[in-house]
Structure 1
């Protein structure tokens, strides 16, 4: 098809969105209140456009107006329902999968049918690999993680002597995270292959960006628009160049020597092959899942660590206490995964950074798939086919939940843990980075909380401790934190901003 067709499809999508809004406004009335400004045809279209560009403000407005309730906001082709209040958040987190679908919600958020492929959506067993095999092997393989952190920081930052260097944070951290993650995923030497790393970083960026573009089209136009927008097939072909021969060799060895053959690599490829069945036990579907695992790992950890470094340089008073903690713990316990659990201040700093920065205004996207809809305990019903989310950013900034909620307090959670420990409060472990709750939703909450959060937390704390012990850092402009960047429903650290860094004397 001609490339000129894409603007035409956008135009058709705009017409369809206006028609949909007209039907939604003048059709059957929904008992769930709409956020202010979306009750008439023109105001509905304006509100949908405003929400597209200012989601943080709109969700905060709804949160303030409908506290402990449910409100709805107009998207281009549907209403989204947003939940507030601890009781409702808990109900969403524990809802049955045959009523609220986590997987269909996740597929919508990244337009997964087009960006990652229907086969992965229909059988997401790679998430089980992350939840079980990857998490279980973190301690055993931590020495390799530590080794890759040291090597990747040294090579990516490429510092000379004791001179200060301005480093673009997000691009640098994405390289470091990609290398470190792939030391676990595929091992040496592939984890240091620059072409392989660039492929995974580019794929991560493209999936996020191109999913947002596809979301601008009504569903019936997406199959026509997708070939112009997504790069899935191209990226899969590139990935197969790197991992296809490795996968074929592993399959051949298992067929010849059995599943537990001597010196079998302990990595993601082996873990995926343990679960792959029938026609899925060939290189293309395995390679596609390695791409997907990389996408999740690189995106989540890179954003979180970049935020943490911006906070570290904006609030330098936290450097020395955390540095002393890291020195003490490593002297006593060495560089181990277990030692990271003793770094309470570093853990708290990362958790507080996540609280204030987060990933966006909402989280826990679910699709209502039961014909009778989803019914809250107080009788409120979300209709079948709707998408439901939980307010996240407003919860993290709620002064009734957190004292001085809008103030960065790096040791907020370590102080809470100390107080709870003195009182023998069993909730002491609910204030760690990996802990989810109705008041801390960065990793979601409930039975579908992020399965990779244990790996992410290990990686983040180990990297931050390494930075503290190895480098001096300072803000590009003293006392000024680079403004965050919001694109659609995603909040992220400023991709152009940098910090000054040098090796410690």
Structure 2
């Protein structure tokens, strides 16, 4: 009896796989990593461990075209070349949706809450209100950077100390970010910081478990797998009294009540209406915004420190630029804008070490599909990404692209005779293009990139002015950690720090 059940299940599984594979074969778009039914599924597993070389292979074999790679449960379409990347970035949300793609990848309605995808008003709050307040909030930002580094490094005297970079930078970034989000003392509370750091990890892991379930079972079993409600409950313990006090003050004294803090809680309340104007909904928005802010910035800055200690000749000129700007203008946003070399170093590190080989995650939501200018048609429901690493290593766009050149972009900015003002601005860290995609591109580029750039530049300037740095192993850059299409800086690697006397 057991043998019959086993054979029946095997026949059923084989039939399902065959039907799914046959449906996929109707698509004429070229493939990488698959040539038959079993290769399709083994290719999905190979993508988990060899995503970067598979994407590179696709771009080499099909330059400037669309190709597809097998994932465990679906095809993923990858576009290469600046023309098609621009078309993906330019497509309206109602045709090619970033929100729907992220909802599917992270099962956001279950792991975070449907309110985020149905009413993402916080995007505009970050893009407009936070950006406008950066100069005014910069003293608080720098103050927290100063305290955060002192307290996390715990350096004494003139001794060197090896510091685990990525976890340390997560703490510093979480504190600095939340100084502007929720203010002190909560931004320094270890339990709160643990919550906002862990939230992203929980969503990433649990959403993938939910994605293993049949579609119809996800809304039934997903809530038991998700930790979203538990995270909100923990967040409420920290933030609910503060948020409820702010709401009461506004109700009694008006929106501009005396002593109103200038932080994300206040900015969200300025826009929130109805049910969104409650403590639980504001907590949910703050957790989600932290999810977007902490891990990417921490990974970026960790890569920067690996690059800086692997190329220590850059430390002196970066320090000289930062000290001169601060001496003349103090620790201000204006001084930060003068630090072209620091800006360039960060941008070059981003170019060479982004978060993976693909970006611009999208889903075709137009029932008619999406047709590219070369005639390629992607059907409704297709998941699309853009090949970022090949674009950022294109020798037609970057001279000697395989070589790290920390001042690649500041040189172009300083050469005013050969560069237009538009060309100068296009080389800033916050600028996006089809050949520089760490912050996305065009109208759906990262809304918080202005804040991220300010935070990272201030952190790097503070470090080079106040600390000496050296690699754990001279001349050796720690290898990246690769998880499918996600590339992260080495989680265990350390860098040596010493307080400058």
TM-score by length of 2: 0.94
Does 2:468 correspond to 1:472? yes
2:79 to 80, 83, 86: 83
Alpha carbons of structure 1 residues 20 and 185: separation in structure 2 relative to 1, 3 Å: farther
After superposition, the CA RMSD in angstroms is: 1.9
Does 2:169 correspond to 1:159? no
Instruction: Say if 1:100 and 1:370, in contact at 8 Å, map to a contact too.
Output: yes
2:437 to 428, 431, 441: 441
Question: What is the rounded CA distance, in whole Å, between the counterparts of 1:129 and 1:16 in structure 2?
Answer: 50
Q: Which runs of 5+ in 2 are unaligned?
A: 1-8
2:215 to 219, 222, 240: 219
Q: Which residue of structure 2 lines up, in the alignment, with residue 204 of structure 1?
A: 200
Q: Which residue of structure 1 lines up, in the alignment, with residue 395 of structure 2?
A: 399
Q: Which residue of structure 1 lines up, in the alignment, with residue 237 of structure 2?
A: 241
Q: CA deviation at 1:421?
A: 5.3
Question: What is the rounded CA distance, in whole Å, between the counterparts of 2:128 and 2:56 in structure 1?
Answer: 36
Question: What is the rounded CA distance, in whole Å, between the counterparts of 1:208 and 1:143 in structure 2?
Answer: 33
1:285 to 259, 262, 281: 281
Q: Which residue of structure 2 lines up, in the alignment, with residue 188 of structure 1?
A: 184
Q: Which residue of structure 1 lines up, in the alignment, with residue 380 of structure 2?
A: 384
Instruction: Say if 1:368 and 1:384, in contact at 8 Å, map to a contact too.
Output: yes
Q: Which residue of structure 1 lines up, in the alignment, with residue 266 of structure 2?
A: 270
Q: Which residue of structure 1 lines up, in the alignment, with residue 411 of structure 2?
A: 415
Q: Which residue of structure 2 lines up, in the alignment, with residue 491 of structure 1?
A: 487
What does 1:8-47 align with in structure 2 at a 5 Å threshold? 21-27=17-23, 29-47=25-43
Q: Which runs of 5+ in 1 are unaligned?
A: 1-12
1:209-228 deviation per Cα after TM superposition (whole angstroms, max 9, x unaligned): 33344344443343455345
1:336-381 deviation per Cα after TM superposition (whole angstroms, max 9, x unaligned): 1121111111111100111111011111111111111011123221
Alpha carbons of structure 1 residues 270 and 421: separation in structure 2 relative to 1, 3 Å: farther
Instruction: Say if 1:421 and 1:428, in contact at 8 Å, map to a contact too.
Output: no
Alpha carbons of structure 1 residues 260 and 391: separation in structure 2 relative to 1, 3 Å: same
Q: Which residue of structure 2 lines up, in the alignment, with residue 100 of structure 1?
A: 96
Instruction: Say if 1:20 and 1:77, in contact at 8 Å, map to a contact too.
Output: no
Q: CA deviation at 1:448?
A: 0.2
1:59 to 55, 62, 67: 55
Alpha carbons of structure 1 residues 17 and 180: separation in structure 2 relative to 1, 3 Å: farther
Alpha carbons of structure 1 residues 16 and 89: separation in structure 2 relative to 1, 3 Å: farther
Question: What is the rounded CA distance, in whole Å, between the counterparts of 2:429 and 2:414 in structure 1?
Answer: 15
Question: What is the rounded CA distance, in whole Å, between the counterparts of 1:208 and 1:180 in structure 2?
Answer: 23
1:413-435 deviation per Cα after TM superposition (whole angstroms, max 9, x unaligned): 11122235544352110011100
Question: What is the rounded CA distance, in whole Å, between the counterparts of 2:143 and 2:18 in structure 1?
Answer: 59
Alpha carbons of structure 1 residues 14 and 70: separation in structure 2 relative to 1, 3 Å: farther
Report the number of matched residues: 493
Question: What is the rounded CA distance, in whole Å, between the counterparts of 1:56 and 1:224 in structure 2?
Answer: 35
Q: Which residue of structure 2 lines up, in the alignment, with residue 7 of structure 1?
A: none
1:74-131 deviation per Cα after TM superposition (whole angstroms, max 9, x unaligned): 2122111111111111111111121111211222333312221111111111111111
2:138 to 142, 149, 155: 142
Question: What is the rounded CA distance, in whole Å, between the counterparts of 1:332 and 1:14 in structure 2?
Answer: 74
Instruction: Say if 2:76 and 2:385, in contact at 8 Å, map to a contact too.
Output: yes
1:299-319 deviation per Cα after TM superposition (whole angstroms, max 9, x unaligned): 121111111011111110110
Question: What is the rounded CA distance, in whole Å, between the counterparts of 1:488 and 1:14 in structure 2?
Answer: 28
Question: What is the rounded CA distance, in whole Å, between the counterparts of 2:418 and 2:175 in structure 1?
Answer: 40
What does 1:342-381 align with in structure 2 at a 5 Å threshold? 342-381=338-377
Question: What is the rounded CA distance, in whole Å, between the counterparts of 1:300 and 1:443 in structure 2?
Answer: 10
Q: Which deviates the most, 449-458 or 481-490?
A: 481-490
1:434-469 deviation per Cα after TM superposition (whole angstroms, max 9, x unaligned): 000001000110110000100000000000010100
Question: What is the rounded CA distance, in whole Å, between the counterparts of 1:311 and 1:91 in structure 2?
Answer: 33
Question: What is the rounded CA distance, in whole Å, between the counterparts of 1:17 and 1:390 in structure 2?
Answer: 32
1:453 to 431, 449, 455: 449
Instruction: Say if 1:93 and 1:448, in contact at 8 Å, map to a contact too.
Output: yes
Q: CA deviation at 1:250?
A: 1.1
Alpha carbons of structure 1 residues 18 and 390: separation in structure 2 relative to 1, 3 Å: farther
Question: What is the rounded CA distance, in whole Å, between the counterparts of 2:10 and 2:324 in structure 1?
Answer: 60
Alpha carbons of structure 1 residues 206 and 257: separation in structure 2 relative to 1, 3 Å: same
Question: What is the rounded CA distance, in whole Å, between the counterparts of 1:423 and 1:443 in structure 2?
Answer: 23
Q: Which residue of structure 2 lines up, in the alignment, with residue 8 of structure 1?
A: none
Does 2:249 correspond to 1:253? yes
Alpha carbons of structure 1 residues 211 and 385: separation in structure 2 relative to 1, 3 Å: same
